[in-house]
Amino acid sequence: MSTISSSINLNKPLTAEQIAANNEVDAKQTLQQEDFFALLSQQLAYQDPFKPVENTEMIAQMASFTTAEGITDLGTEFAGLKEVLSSSQALQASSLVGKKVLIPSNIGYLADTGGIDGSINTTTGAYNTMVTVENSAGEVVRTISLGDIGAGNKRFSWDGLGADGERLPEDTYTLKANGMVNGTGEELMVASYAHVESVSLGGGQANVYLNLKGLGGIELSDAIEVAENK
């Protein structure tokens, strides 16, 4: 009785020659238009003369092949269209370098100059609205009074100074807002503005990313608003 050698490594990756041979075999197993017409010719040559193929049946076979071929071509065209759209999106995103975008996060980055801008969103408005700024250790370093605000988006700015009027160090800071809504104190939704330093242009299936100063990257589709960098 013969035995199977235990020295065969089934986990060993295929060589380039083996991969090319497999691709060639796979290509030969795919029916092309010439193969279809060859099969159709054979079918007509060997059909029973007393029971010939109906015209409607032959037309249906040809229509089925044409439809399948059309779907394949359509998929190729859509792939090309997607690539063009991705390139266009990447080109548009590159124009955002040097500008500010509003992101769905209440964390902002304080550079060595300037401050942090944010936006409060509320559907009903609020009164006695207060914005607190916390450092990376969770300590409140500044409180800003905005008073009464209406429904919609309310933009605000923090100059980067602490409660003592001293410039705070370059770091990330968390912006929180609270206000009275219908007689009840509520935490309000806050978004922050971030500076776009560069854009990662995704190729193929990759998305376009905006690289934000001090905050990392986000997808272009996540940006809420674009603003001039002042």
Average pLDDT, whole number, for the chain? 78
Q: What is the pLDDT of residue 10?
A: 47
Residue 4 lies in a domain: no
The domain that contains 132 carries what CATH number? Answer: 2.60.40.4070
In DSSP terms, 134 is beta-bridged to: 140, 174
pTM: 0.61
Contact 188, 121 (CB under 8 A): yes
C-beta atoms surrounding 67 within 10 Å? 10
Q: What is the pLDDT of residue 1?
A: 47
d(CA 174, CA 137): 10
Same domain, 71 and 116: no
Q: What is the pLDDT of residue 93?
A: 72
Non-local CB neighbours of 181 within 8 Å, separated by 6+ positions: 122, 124, 125, 126
Q: How far is CA 90 from the centre of its chain?
A: 12
Q: What are the Cα distances from residue 209, in Å, to 58, 73, 93, 142, 219? A: 52, 31, 8, 32, 4
**105/102 Cα distance (integer angstroms):** 9
In terms of C-beta density within 10 A (0-12 exposed, 13-18 middle, 19 or more buried), how is residue 88 classed? exposed
- Is there a single domain that holds both residue 122 and residue 222? yes
| Residue 221 DSSP code | G
Query: Quick check: is 2 in a domain?
Result: no
Please tell me the predicted confidence (pLDDT) of residue 227. Answer: 84
Write out pLDDT tens, residues 37-63.
666 666 666 565 556 555 566 566 666
Question: Per-residue pLDDT tens for 206-218?
Answer: 578 899 999 999 9
pLDDT value at residue 230: 67
pLDDT in tens, the chain (230 residues): 444 444 444 455 667 776 676 666 555 555 565 666 666 666 666 565 556 555 566 566 666 666 656 666 666 655 555 555 556 666 677 788 888 999 999 999 999 989 999 999 999 889 999 999 999 999 999 999 999 999 999 999 999 999 999 999 999 999 999 999 988 999 999 999 999 998 887 655 557 889 999 999 998 888 898 887 76
- 190 CB contacts (<8 Å, ≥6 apart)? 106, 118, 119, 120, 121, 131, 175, 176, 177
Last residue of a domain, one of 55, 71, 94: 94
Q: 73: domain range?
A: 16-94
The answer to the question of residue 179 being in a domain is yes
